[in-house]
Structure 1
Amino acid sequence: MNVNTYSSEQIPPEYSEEQEQEQEPLLGDKVRIATNNDTSWYGAVLLIVNAALGAGLLNFPYAYHEAGGVLVAILIQTFLMVFVVGALFILVYCSDLQNSKNYQEVVHSMCGSVGLLCCSIAITLYCFGTCITFLILLADQWQEFFIFINAKLYCVTNPWYMHRIFIIPVTSFIIILPLCFPKKIDFLKYASGIGTLSILYIVGLVSIKYFLPHPPPGHINKKPVYWMDVFYVIPTICFSYQCHVSVIPIYSCMSKRTMKEFSKSIFASIFLCVIAYTGMATFGYLTFGALINNDILLSYEPDDYIIVAVLLLIIKTYTTYPLLHFCGRAGLDSLWCHFWNLSVQDSQVKEAQRRVTMTILWFLSTLILALFIPNIGIVISFLGCLAAGFIFIFPGICIFQIGIREIESTWKSQVSILLGIIYLSMGAFISGVTFCQSILKDVKGIPTELPSGCKNFTTTTI
């Protein structure tokens, strides 16, 4: 899974396979994929689910509210699932043509160096933005924890040692930053189990709390106020179901690497993700209605069960940030090598110095931005535009290239060209509309919502 801009044919003979594996970076956006080809189809299901279920889960109920209610959002989600699954099969098919091992190699083999450059930039930006959402998420969960410990102290006096400007930098420097420096971070793959369990716990908790006695919800939308509002849910859907960058490394590790075998993994994992996201969004939104928060956990009155969910999410976030940073740093390093035209051997010179410098600059910039961005909804709306590129644009270009490379025009080549045009058109339209909506929301300003535990205090100083 090498992110450098060199194909397998360009690797010099003296560059051994052992050296290549030693510097092999993470390309999955939430998981570390092992290099041994011993993954079964049901093992691949767990990896894909862990890659797809993430921070977008907490924003899903609010996205349902913005889009105009449960029915509208589910219809849009169902429509987009056709393209999400189709893109996965396109990528797997293209990876088989050149035996590609990661997303960049697929794009490189189909689109050349220019496509690889654009893909590396997109992955770097996506990982950078996702790291910001993780730090914002930490700030939200820590304030919920402090409210549970002492609501009056936090909501009224807001002491400095409980403020997000203090707690996030200190804990991040102590926990996250040391985990970002290593060249290989294989040991963090064991944290993916905790991450999956924490997400399942949160989904189950939100669903159960809907059937328990709770205060009456706010207004529940049955349809969008304006027809353009339906597009508000699309960035969250794209961000939440974006596991495409991880799928090719997972596929390359299967013991039986065939599209027929992997199709079982794709359908099973997407089905589980749809159940989790739809259940979370539906029950969460119907519980609070218009009173829903950008982060669903902040809408609940803190209790023992909510705090367990908060602590699990905090642990997951602290261990997941380094994985995303590792992926983004690999993309950034490949861009550096591309712009300076470094060979494989030259790229190893001062590699440690470059890695440390990139890590520090990456960490500090994401930390500063996270401290001044009020909620994860703002970042997710922009990341959804990039995720649409991984789901629509790059797969569309790949399948289009397959069609035009055919010497003779056949029905298969014509279908490939048609699919490519459809995917590219959808990707351009969705990215353009959602990006404009994100800009307009940012210009209008989104008020910072108070956690539920602070709403009873009138002298809040958050």
Structure 2
Amino acid sequence: MEELARESIRSISLLSRPARGSDVPRLGSFGAIFIMLKSALGAGLLNFPWAFEKAGGKTIVTLKMSLLTLINLVGLVILGYASSISRQKTYHDVVREVCGQRIGHLCEICFVFNLFMISVAFLVVVQDQLDKLTGNTEGEMPYHWYSDHRFALFVMCLFIILPLSVPKEIGIQKYTSSCIYIIHSSLISVFFWVICNRLDSWASMFSVVPTICFGFQCHEACITIYSSMENKKITHWVFISVTSMIFCLIIYTLTGVFGFLTFGRQVASDILMSYPGNDVVMIIARLLFGISIITIYPIILLLGRSVILTQILRFWERRAIITSVFESRCRLILTILWITVTLLIAIYIPDMSEVISVIGGISAFFIFIFPGETLN
């Protein structure tokens, strides 16, 4: 895989602009597809079996997912085209350039809030798995403060997530992309092994739309990925988008069907929580999925942090000269605040479905509304 480009969020490149003619490594086709999949596949995977149960069965949800996949593809192509004509390299910059300042500011607010809530959802997922691994849910082990899942989550944020999130560039994430697909394949295999063919009655169709929107959402990162590509032809971008969405549809459908058929009405909003904590296969699955989430979290944080940092640098630029030390301190402070607040919220959120319902509603802006506005 070719080297990942320098941080594609060029809105904070006030401090370091590469000289013309300098060799900047770009993304190839495989790299772009991997990063697209990594942006889309995450905590939503665990929620899809619950969505199948809520909607009343595998057939109706699969049809709805197929329809929304087509809509997602249209949105991705529109965003790539808007990026090419506006020559902007982030989602919110494209919307501001094409739709005007007011819609651009609204997009930035929705962008940051959505990424913030996604970060919360990721930590909730990790906390659930830690709760199962420590045996707190079933009361299998005596309680000790150092074995509490909340303390373990804090240590993980401090020593793993924080160091991965502080760097200005996202190049380190290319080394962790391949583990995502191994993890998801493992989870699908687990559901297949324990399948028991239990069906459910019809229920509300529209209750699962937020889950589907959340699961297929990679629109915030798509322009960043497009801007980092070596080949920026629209036809090539269509190929990247179609390939990524097909893989997403297959993985989410298989996970939702196998999880739904396994547990039926008893399926939890986090499918891994439906399995016992002492199952060896599921212990491995929890560990792998935790690693997956930990490697995705820094990308989400970087995208959200860039918007806030850009506004701070623009404001400060009117008063004084921006130095690299000042920029580094602001980036570190924003990173610590982001992780701290999301950690505190995640500790007190009891149900992942509540977080995803909020995220899915906001995701509709990035999947349906803002891409449509760029056509006006």
TM-score tier by shorter-chain length is 0.7 to 0.9
Gaps of 5+ in 2: 1-7
Q: Find the aligned partners of 2:186 and 2:112 in 1 and give their Cα distance.
A: 30
Q: Is the 8 A contact 2:83 2:223 kept in 1?
A: yes
Q: Is the 8 A contact 2:26 2:228 kept in 1?
A: yes
Counting only pairs closer than 5 Å after superposition, residues 316-355 of structure 1 correspond to structure 2 as: 316-337=292-313, 342=318, 346=322, 350-355=326-331
Counting only pairs closer than 5 Å after superposition, residues 215-226 of structure 1 correspond to structure 2 as: 220-224=199-203
Structure 1 residue aligned with 2:268: 293
Find 2:111's aligned residue among 82, 100, 123: 123
1:339 Cα deviation from its structure 2 partner: 5.8
When residues 209 and 2 of structure 1 are mapped into structure 2, their CA distance, relative to the original with a 3 A threshold, is same
Structure 2 residue aligned with 1:49: 37
Q: Is the 8 A contact 1:5 1:116 kept in 2?
A: no
Bigger shift: residues 68-77 or 265-274: 68-77
Q: Is the 8 A contact 1:129 1:383 kept in 2?
A: yes
Counting only pairs closer than 5 Å after superposition, residues 17-416 of structure 1 correspond to structure 2 as: 17-18=17-18, 36-40=25-29, 42-147=30-135, 153-154=140-141, 157-210=142-195, 220-224=199-203, 229-301=204-276, 302-337=278-313, 342=318, 346=322, 350-400=326-376
* Structure number with bigger Rg: 1
> Could you give the per-residue CA deviations for residues 388-412 of structure 1, whole angstroms, max 9, x where no partner exists?
1110111011012xxxxxxxxxxxx
Bigger shift: residues 107-116 or 58-67: 107-116
Q: Which has the higher contact order (CA 8 A, sep 6+)?
A: 2
1:371 Cα deviation from its structure 2 partner: 0.5
Q: Find the aligned partners of 1:38 and 1:78 in 2 and give their Cα distance.
A: 28
1:341 Cα deviation from its structure 2 partner: 6.9
When residues 348 and 269 of structure 1 are mapped into structure 2, their CA distance, relative to the original with a 3 A threshold, is same
Q: Find the aligned partners of 1:35 and 1:387 in 2 and give their Cα distance.
A: 32
Q: Is the 8 A contact 2:134 2:148 kept in 1?
A: no
Q: Is the 8 A contact 1:35 1:253 kept in 2?
A: no
Q: Find the aligned partners of 2:182 and 2:114 in 1 and give their Cα distance.
A: 25
1:199 Cα deviation from its structure 2 partner: 2.0
Provide TM-score, normalisation by structure 2: 0.88
SS in 1 for 2:232: coil
Structure 1 residue aligned with 2:11: 4
When residues 142 and 242 of structure 1 are mapped into structure 2, their CA distance, relative to the original with a 3 A threshold, is same
Q: Find the aligned partners of 2:232 and 2:252 in 1 and give their Cα distance.
A: 29
Counting only pairs closer than 5 Å after superposition, residues 415-434 of structure 1 correspond to structure 2 as: none
Q: Is the 8 A contact 1:52 1:273 kept in 2?
A: yes
When residues 178 and 257 of structure 1 are mapped into structure 2, their CA distance, relative to the original with a 3 A threshold, is closer
When residues 325 and 90 of structure 1 are mapped into structure 2, their CA distance, relative to the original with a 3 A threshold, is same
Q: Is the 8 A contact 1:3 1:334 kept in 2?
A: no
Q: Is the 8 A contact 1:71 1:222 kept in 2?
A: no
Q: Find the aligned partners of 1:205 and 1:169 in 2 and give their Cα distance.
A: 29
1:350 Cα deviation from its structure 2 partner: 2.1
Runs of 4+ in 1 over 6 A off after TM superposition: none
Q: Find the aligned partners of 1:44 and 1:178 in 2 and give their Cα distance.
A: 24
Q: Find the aligned partners of 1:341 and 1:386 in 2 and give their Cα distance.
A: 31
Q: Is the 8 A contact 1:117 1:335 kept in 2?
A: no
1:102 Cα deviation from its structure 2 partner: 2.6
SS in 2 for 1:54: coil
SS in 2 for 1:174: helix
What letter is aligned with 2:148?
H
When residues 87 and 112 of structure 1 are mapped into structure 2, their CA distance, relative to the original with a 3 A threshold, is same
1:298 Cα deviation from its structure 2 partner: 1.4
Q: Find the aligned partners of 2:313 and 2:360 in 1 and give their Cα distance.
A: 28
Gaps of 5+ in 1: 21-33, 401-462
Provide TM-score, normalisation by structure 1: 0.72
> Could you give the per-residue CA deviations for residues 51-73 of structure 1, whole angstroms, max 9, x where no partner exists?
21111000011011122222222
When residues 299 and 46 of structure 1 are mapped into structure 2, their CA distance, relative to the original with a 3 A threshold, is same
1:194 Cα deviation from its structure 2 partner: 1.7
Equivalenced residues, count:
366
Bigger shift: residues 176-185 or 382-391: 176-185
What letter is aligned with 1:17?
R
Q: Alignment identity in percent?
A: 33
> Could you give the per-residue CA deviations for residues 150-204 of structure 1, whole angstroms, max 9, x where no partner exists?
96533xx444333233221233222222333333353233112222321222123
Q: Is the 8 A contact 2:115 2:304 kept in 1?
A: yes
When residues 182 and 343 of structure 1 are mapped into structure 2, their CA distance, relative to the original with a 3 A threshold, is farther
What letter is aligned with 1:223?
W
Q: Find the aligned partners of 1:83 and 1:205 in 2 and give their Cα distance.
A: 30
